[in-house]
Structure formats: structure tokens, C-alpha cells
Structure 1
Amino acid sequence: MFASIAKAAALTALIAVGANTATPSNAEAGNVSFGVYFGTPGYGPGPYWGPAPRPHRGICKPRSAVNKAWRMGVKNPRISSRNRSRVIVRGWRYGHKTKVVFANRRYCPVIAYR
């Protein structure tokens, strides 16, 4: 009978010691915090929950090519051809037909100007 009482007392003491170490002290209880995030999860500073955004594919948009040709002095610029490697814009300059060839990359770098 003494053995069963001793086992029960030891088990109770073990549970009490374990529960006492698991409870936070006053200093640790003050560190509890939470955060509110605005916006789409996965973007902006902080933890990223969603998939990362894909890298921007560098292409020369037709409107960008026409605007760039117009800033270069080509009057009435129009896209005449476009494929995966280049964009060709035709127009007029100083009363003569002209052609500007842009690479189909970001920022539309000029390849040829005739």
C-alpha cells in the first residue's frame, strides 16, 4: 500500500514541477505580440506567405517601340514587323522613308537606324 501511495506522490510531484517550468514568468509574458498586415499576402516587407512573383520577361512592347521611334524624330511611326528577336518600325524623317529596328528586349534597344 505504501508503494502505491509513494508512486502517486512521486507522479504528482513530477507533474507539478513540469507545470511550474512550463508557465512563463512575468518578464516572458510581456513579450507576447501579434501583427496585422495589410495588402496581398506574399508581397512587401515581412514574411512571405505566397509564391514569389515571376521575374519580368524582357519584351519590347509595340507602344514603347513606336514612342521611342517618335522621340527619335520618326514621323508617323508604325510597326511593320515583329518577331521574337526584333521589332521593326517604319515612318518618315526629313521627307524620306526610314526604318528603325529594335531588339525585342526590355527598354527596346536600337539595333539599326536607316
Structure 2
Amino acid sequence: MNIGKVLATGLTMAGALMALPSASPAQSLDLYIGPGGPDVQMRDREYDPDNYGSYRGCSERQAIRRAYRLGLSDPEIEAVTRRQVVVDGVGRRGLTTVYFANRPGCPRIG
């Protein structure tokens, strides 16, 4: 058998395997190696240490953090509804209101 044909077949099979879609896992696996020895932690994808126990919605704490990251100084929660979290703060142009969707990740909606 010719070595070129074997290599071509192997490359074709490797390319076919790379083209297959991959499913994302529902959990993540973290391995920490420190002075106390190795530590393995499995956690859900939606785990948030700041909002442990509540996987639904945007917490007030998360909304304040997001507002700080957007450049608002002294942000305060103005209102929390089923659909949105409203945060007021001082931006570069004065008083600014930011609206976040009340769902995981606090996406900005206005």
C-alpha cells in the first residue's frame, strides 16, 4: 500500500471528525492544584457565586455591577419589575438611566 494514500485517508478522516458539531456540556469541570492538594469542582453552567441559589433573573447586585462597568458613578436601583431592572446613576452627561432585562446575565435593553 502506498504511504501517500494512507496519509491522505488519515487526513480526510481527521477533517471529517473536526467537521462534526460538538454539543456544549451542561456542567463545567474545574481542577485546582494548590498547597492543600488537588481539588476538583463540578458546577452548573448557570452557577453564579454572587447570586447562589437563584438562577432566574438579574439580581440588584448584578445590575449595580453592570452599571459600574458601563461607566456610571453612584448607581442606584430605581425599580425592579418582572421584565426589567432600572438603574439610575451619574454618567458623563449627567443623570443617566440604564435598563437591564431581568434574566440571567443582565443584558442591557436601554
TM-score by length of 2: 0.50
TM-score by length of 1: 0.48
Question: Which one has a bigger Cα radius of gyration?
Answer: 1
Instruction: Give the structure with the higher percent strand.
Output: 2
